[in-house]
Structure 1
Amino acid sequence: MKKLLLSFLLSLAGGMGLSAQNVVSGTVIDKEGNPIPGAKIEVVGSAEFTITELDGTFRLETQNPAKKVKAQYVGLNSKTQTVVPNMLIKLTNSHIGWNVNIGFGGANITGEDLEDNSMIPAYKLGVGVEIPLGRNWWLMPSLEYKLKGTKFEDKGSDYSEKENIDLHYLQVPIMGAYRLNFKNDMDLTFKAGIYVAYALKGKGKYEEIYDGRTEKETYNLFEEDVIKRFDSGVATGIDFGYKRFTVGLDLNFSFINLLEDNEDDLSIYNGAMFFSVGYRF
């Protein structure tokens, strides 16, 4: 009886020891010692993972004993660490990142004295830098090529007029950003800042149909001293990220009057909206 009881106790102790090895727990902090909620804790060599709580703690029961875990958080360097009881994992700021994006949307020129004008299709191509400022905070300058402008249209019983204004800008937005991280490598980034832009090309196309006759004219906006080459304004946006891929919405609002000759005290301003897709390096 004593031998049976001893064997049972030893077996129970061995089972408890195995169970203890299959539990990984600890806390994830940043370099200042602040807890990091939403960090991903992944067992190396396995698909098992968990996400840290609001206080940065985690607890993961694994099917097999875990030897190492990898902690990851967007904007911070990932870290692999050997499993110990109540482990403490410290993540540091990541290096500068890069991104590329392409977007399509609409642009318009607005003003109190403008009539019969409407939005035109617009596009952008961009490359940007992501500079970490601390947990969740980023500085995001970029260089973009953007098409903006507007179109006018007027119709009558025996005539019609159309005029397209195309402005091709080299634009530099400088934005601050706040990034929220969620489970499964997803994040949401809110951006806001200012931009400066220089128009590489400005073209106007005019078409008039009257009494069955059509007249067309193309002209350079800058040779005619109609529009200023320089522009500046507010840039804002929101991006949804999954791993290295992003989709987003960007808005631009000019605060500089685009008219070169302003003797009549008229004011017009650029505005544009772009839906974009991108990739982070």
Structure 2
Amino acid sequence: MTTDESKTDTAYEAALNEHYGATDLGDEILDALEAAGKDVDTLTREDIASFDEFHIRGLEATREVANLAEVEDHARILDVGCGIGGPARTLASEFGCDVVGIDVVEEYCRAATLFTDRVGLTDNVRFQHGNALDLPFADEEFDVVWFEHTLLNIEAKGVAIEEAGRVLRPGGTLTLYEICAGPGDEPVFPVPWASDGSLSYLDPPEKLREIVLDRGFDEAAWRDVTGPSLEWFRNVVESMQSRPADAPPPLGLNLLMGAETPIKAANVVRNLEEERIVVVQGVYERIG
């Protein structure tokens, strides 16, 4: 990503929107839910749980990171790269937080707003379009800034972390749940976050830690969760392979990843097995 450190790259934003932002995504998902027998006028979080959290290990991982970060009731959280809003809704409904989600993909923001309204969480969660490199918020506005599988699409990670620090109150918390470069060869594509290397920006874990620590944060927790991530994705692939050929499409991550879902999932397993990628969680405190 070629970017001035004070500006975002509109061409790159367009590429991300092309990769992630299927037209009328929310309506397409509603149609799939209705075809599966769900009452789309009275949806619950359970109805959309199978695809709601677009990251490895889904809801389980969001709960895990929130507990690791000791997220407090009534905390004001900024979810950067919020996708269709699953983590934000989890943080609001299960941890009592007030959450703002932001994403560079406009269709994700629309779908996130739609499903938040359908499950009755609009009083605690809202979404807006925006870029992690130029957050449209005032200084020291949030208690927590939350990244889940977001930095993997950002080359200028230092700028993103500086922006996170700017909008955090002193002593506020930065959480990371990210895919990093492993010690093996380059990743095999396509994968959920990129069809090829042009959208994939993975740093080794130690480089990511260095970026954060050099920008005014203290490390409170760090752990490698590659093992459970591999087990989870193996189960995903096995479930896909065991489905009868004439079975209707599942209500799963295929709704977000499209026709290439099987190959993308298989490539994630291969990348994890061959140590081309690793998965980490980190919690940091803003100094000052």
* TM-score normalised by L of structure 2: 0.21
Pick 1 or 2: higher relative contact order, CA cutoff 8 A, min separation 6: 2
Largest Rg, 1 or 2: 1
TM-score by length of 1: 0.21
- The structure richer in strand per residue is 1
Which one has the bigger helix percentage?
A: 2
